[in-house]
Copies of this chain bind each other. A is one copy, B any other.
C-alpha cells in the first residue's frame, strides 16, 4: 500500500531525466501514503528555496489526494478554499505535486517538483509517475 524506497528512487530518476531533457534544474521530493518523506534530491544549481516547496507540494498532493494545481483553483480569493495554504504548517497549491498510484489505482504516495515554471514542474512530476505501473 506504501511506495518503497526503490520505487521512489525510480520515480526520482525518471523525473530527473525529464528535467535534464527540458533543460531545467529541479528539487524533487517523494512522500509515502502517510505523507512522510521517502526520498529527495536537489539537482546541482537548482533553487535553494524549492527544496521546501517540493516537499510541501508532495505533502499537499497526498493530504488531499489530488494534483496541487487543483487545490490552487479552489484557494483563490472568493473561492471555497481561500487561503487553505495556512493549514498543515504551509501548503503549496500550484502545480507540481501529484499523487502516485499503483497499478490498482491505490494511492501509495506523492511526488512534488519545484524549480522552474509551474508547467515544467508539473511535466517533470508526471514523468516521474511513469516509473510506477
Contacts of A93 in B (CB 8 A): 82-83
Given A34-B34, A36-B51, A47-B63, answer yes or no on A94-B76 (Cβ-Cβ < 8 Å): no
Report A128 CB to chain B, min CB distance, Å: 16
Q: Is A38 an interface residue (CB 8 A)?
A: yes
Instruction: Verify A84–B92 contact, CB threshold 8 A.
Output: yes
CB neighbors of B among A26-59 (8 A): 32-44, 47-53, 56, 59
Known A34-B35, A35-B36, A37-B40: A49·B87 in contact at CB below 8 Å: yes
Using A51-B36, A86-B91, A87-B56 as known contacts, say yes or no to A80 and B42 having CB atoms under 8 A apart.
no
Q: How many copies altogether?
A: 4
Cβ of A75 within 8 Å of any chain B Cβ, yes or no, is yes
A42 touches B81 (CB 8 A): no
Shortest distance between the CB of A51 and any CB in chain B (Å): 5
Is A5 an interface residue, CB under 8 A from the partner?
A: yes
> B residues within 8 A CB of A10?
none
- A104 at the B interface (CB under 8 A): no
A interface with B by C-beta (< 8 Å) = 1-2, 4-6, 8-9, 32-44, 47-53, 56, 59-60, 62-65, 72, 75-78, 80-95, 117-118
